[in-house]
Amino acid sequence: MVELAKLIHISNPSLSVILFITTAAPCLNTENYINTVSAATPSIKFHRLLPTVPLPPDLSSDFMDLAFGIPKLYNPIVHNTLVVVRVTSLARFQVDIVNLLI
C-alpha cells in the first residue's frame, strides 16, 4: 500500500494519503518502517485504528481469512475515523486501508 500511496502522490502531489493500520499491537519492526516512510514521504500519513479490536476465538488462522476478517471487524472504527478525517481535513485526501499482519 505504501508503494501505491507513493504512486498516487507522484501523479497528484496535492493529495495526502492516509494509511490505516489495524495491527493488534505495535511491533518494533512495523514502527521503524512507518517512521522511515513518514520521514521519506511526508505526504503519506499513518493512522492506527483504535481501540484495538480483539479477535474472535473462532476466527480462522488462514491468511485469507485474516486478511479479510480483521478489516471487517474494524468497519465501525473505520467509519468513525473517516468522519473525523473528513471534518478535520481542509485538503483533499485519499484513504487506503492497510492491514499489517504480524
Q: What is the pLDDT of residue 100?
A: 44
pTM for the full predicted model? 0.71
Region class of 56: left (phi > 0), else alpha (psi between -120 and 50), else beta: beta
Residue 91 has pLDDT above 60, yes or no: no
* β-strand partners of 98: 21
Q: What one-character-per-residue DSSP string does 24-42 give?
A: SS--HHHHHHHHHHHHH-T
- Who has greater pLDDT, 67 or 58? 58
Q: Is the peptide bond before 71 cis (omega within 30 degrees of 0)?
A: no
Ranking 8-17, 19-28, 78-87 by mean pLDDT, the lowest is 19-28
Distance CA 45, CA 39 (A): 10
Distance CA 56, CA 50 (A): 17
- Could you report the per-residue pLDDT of 28-57, keeping only the tens digit for each? 788 888 999 999 999 898 888 888 888 888
Q: What is the pLDDT of residue 39?
A: 94
Domain ranges of the chain: 2-98
